[in-house]
Amino acid sequence: MTLTDIKQFTVRRSSSEQSCAGILPPAGHFIGGTFVPGSSTQLIDVVDPTTEQVITSVQAGTAADVDVAVEAAVAAQKSWGATTPKERSEVLTLIANIIEDNREAFELIESANTGKPRTVAEDDVSSAIDTFRFMAGASRTLTSMAGGDYATGHTSVILREPVGVVGVITPWNYPLLMAAWKIAPILAAGNSIVLKPSEQTPLSTLKLAELVAGRIPDGILNVVTGQGRTVGQRLAEHPDIALIALTGSVVSGQAVAETAGKSVKRVHLELGGKAPVVVFPDADLRAAAAGVRNAGFWNAGQDCGAACRVLVHESVAEEFTEHLVREVGTLVVGAPGAGDDVEIGPMISRPHFERVKESLAEAKDAGLQVAIGGSALEGTGYFIEPTVISNVPAGAHIATHEIFGPVVTIESFSTTDEAITRANESPYGLSASVWTRDSSLSLSIPKQLDFGTVWVNSHLVLACEVPWGGFKGSGYGRDLSLYALDDYSRTKHVMINHSA
């Protein structure tokens, strides 16, 4: 059998998309517990990438809008920061319950705004609920170093405090979930928040604001919509913001860190990735191919941890490629409303769609072999075929740059040292996976890989108990787990002289 004999993926179109018209949130900024109009009359259209139609418009926020929100956050943080972990935990549990009670609305809004299949939207909402529940519990378990006598006649006590007001900037790929990853630990640690959602996907965050309004203390969570270069920039520079946390691209992270440096703000960055998938000759190749099918194409590959760059031993490269192409041939591409079996939705926007198409065209021009897919779908919506590019030479552009689409490349290696060197030869350091049945390799290889998460015989499996975050160009700081609570709090040493 040749690769061309293998079945192509299925495409499903939908004539009538499920509408979220009746459940849209108010289009204002959410400041001090209520929706308020912005200081500018400018609006930003929010587009459904499946239909290319405008869903609604939101405020294009200004620096002045951020200043009003920061003032509300500063005022609210004083009493919020003085609450007990138990009281804060109750508020986080309430937020989890509110999302759960409204999960249908969140899923509809998220699918309309991002084009993601309902299965992905369901998973996003479940994970957002779990994030709030985990942080509600975890925040009650925090301990500091025990007090002690370290200088004669003096006793030391270590206090853990909130940092104050935290500015948050979120991306478009998992709008509600990425907001939850920030809001839950930041509130749990006693801080207040001014959050700017992606200008492309603000709706689920505004919906959350609408539903929690009046049920959580006013001003602890504020949302200002708008562009990165105005609202995001002001959050990074505002003197009353103690820490700025961004999930997004490397370029945005660099801009935020540079601005934040001027006021010596703390910075927390979750940036891009290009996860290598290192397949050793003894690996279960079918399992590895199935793993890449799921983790390379989840959310149409628009995932910072996507299993997008396979490095497979040369002795099994052909066999692995066949397995993967067969797996990818079973994917169903289409609109969220076209059926429960749809797994791949559109790219988020026309500019992103054009960028992914350009990367594919470049790969084809460079003579690379497209094993399956390789083009955009005809018709409405920003759909790209699930694509596998095989026999990719070391250093090829498509295998070193973040494509952020349903595109997986396959390179081969000869020796273990070469596999490690090539995997680490990336500006990113977010996540990687290793596929082997050798118990010794399953620990020795992860130790040599320069990535914040390394899976063995798995990829893209996350849990709230364990940290998520990168090395190198993928940023610093950790989301999820007790480490996030550490990142969003500060320690203070109080030393008492009792010798007199």
Does 114 bind ligand NAD (CB under 6 A)? Our answer is no
345 in Cβ contact with 50 (< 8 Å) = yes
* Distance of closest approach, residue 419 Cβ to ligand NAD, in angstroms: 23
DSSP structural state of residue 396 = -
Per-residue x/- mask for ligand NAD, residues 299 to 318, rule CB under 6 A?
Answer: -----x--------------
273 binding ligand NAD? (CB under 6 A):
yes
Q: Rounded to 5 degrees, what are φ and ψ at 454? A: -130, 120
Site for ligand NAD in 403-462 (CB under 6 A): 404, 430
Give yes or no for residue 247 binding ligand NAD (CB under 6 A).
yes
Residue 122 structure tokens: 């369901």
Query: Which residues are catalytic, by number?
Result: 270, 304
Q: In whole angstroms, give the CA distance from residue 409 to residue 368.
A: 10
Strand (E) or helix (H) holding 10 = strand 10-12
Q: Which is nearer to ligand NAD, 286 or 472 (CB)?
A: 472
* Residue 124 engages ligand NAD in binding (rule: CB under 6 A): no
Member of 135, 220, 256, 278 binding ligand NAD (CB under 6 A):
256
- Tell me the β-bridge partners of 161: 490
The residue assigned the tokens 């690769």 is 3
Query: Whole-angstrom Cα distance, residue 357 to residue 347?
Result: 11
346 near ligand NAD (CB under 6 A): no
- The CA distances from residue 249 to 253, 285, 427, in Å, are 6, 32, 13
* Residues 166 and 191 sit within 8 Å (Cβ to Cβ): yes
Segment interacting with ligand NAD (CB under 6 A) among 34-42, 63-71, 185-193, 264-272: 264-272
Q: Is position 223 an interface residue for ligand NAD (rule: CB under 6 A)?
A: no
Q: Give the residue carrying structure tokens 């490349």.
A: 409
Shortest reach from residue 69's CB to ligand NAD, in Å = 15
Residues contacting residue 225 through CB under 8 Å, at least 6 positions apart: 29, 44, 58, 59, 60, 61, 196, 197, 199, 202, 206, 231
Q: Which residue type is seen at 454?
A: V
Query: Which of 320, 476 has the CB closer to ligand NAD?
Result: 476
Question: Residue 439's CB: how many other CB atoms inside 10 A?
Answer: 9
**Residue 196 or residue 313: which is nearer to ligand NAD going by CB?**
196
How many residues sit close enough to ligand NAD to count as binding (CB under 6 A)?
32
- Comparison of 45 and 161: residue with beta carbon closer to ligand NAD: 45
Q: How far apart are CA 211 and CA 198, in angstroms?
A: 19
Among 204, 252, 359, 481, binds ligand NAD (CB under 6 A): 252
248 binding ligand NAD? (CB under 6 A): yes
Residue type, 285: L
- In the block, residue with structure tokens 């620990």: 443
Footprint (CB under 6 A) of ligand NAD, residues 151-210 = 169-173, 178, 196, 198-199
Rounded to the nearest angstrom, the gap between the alpha carbon of residue 206 and the centroid of all alpha carbons in its chain is: 18
Rounded to a whole number of angstroms, the minimum distance from the CB of residue 308 to ligand NAD is 11
Binding site for ligand NAD (CB under 6 A): 169-173, 178, 196, 198-199, 227-229, 232-233, 236, 246-249, 252, 255-256, 270-273, 304, 402, 404, 430, 470, 474
